[in-house]
Amino acid sequence: MLQQWGRNRLMWELRAKGVPDTFIRAGIAALNPAEYDSVIDRLALKKWRSLDGYEVYERRQRLSAYLQGRGFTTGEVQQCLPRILPRD
């Protein structure tokens, strides 16, 4: 995952380049789940640390918006948050 994009962003970019949907779906299905989770976790942790001056609620909102902007789905973001956020 060279670009460190989520599934949605990959689909958008490939469609913009004119790649047929059948190839896009096959490529998305071939993604390694462990590597994919590693990418989202790494991006989320880095972004979380950069949002140090904000309240926890706003940090979570900004982190979610950032990850969704990178093309990760809402469900993927929600699954990622408990893995990377400190326990309160």
Mean pLDDT rounded to a whole number for the chain: 91
Indicate the pTM of the whole model.
0.86
Per residue in 44-65, pLDDT tens? Answer: 999 999 999 999 899 999 999 9
Per residue in 10-34, pLDDT tens? Answer: 999 999 999 999 999 999 999 999 9
Distance CA 56, CA 53 (A): 9
Residue 3: its pLDDT value, please?
79
Using alpha carbons, select from 42, 63, 45 the residue that is nearest to residue 54: 63
Q: Which residues contact 14 (CB under 8 A, 6 or more apart)?
A: 23, 24, 27
Is pLDDT at 1 greater than 50 in this prediction? no
Q: How confident is the model at residue 88 (pLDDT cuts 50, 70, 90)?
A: low
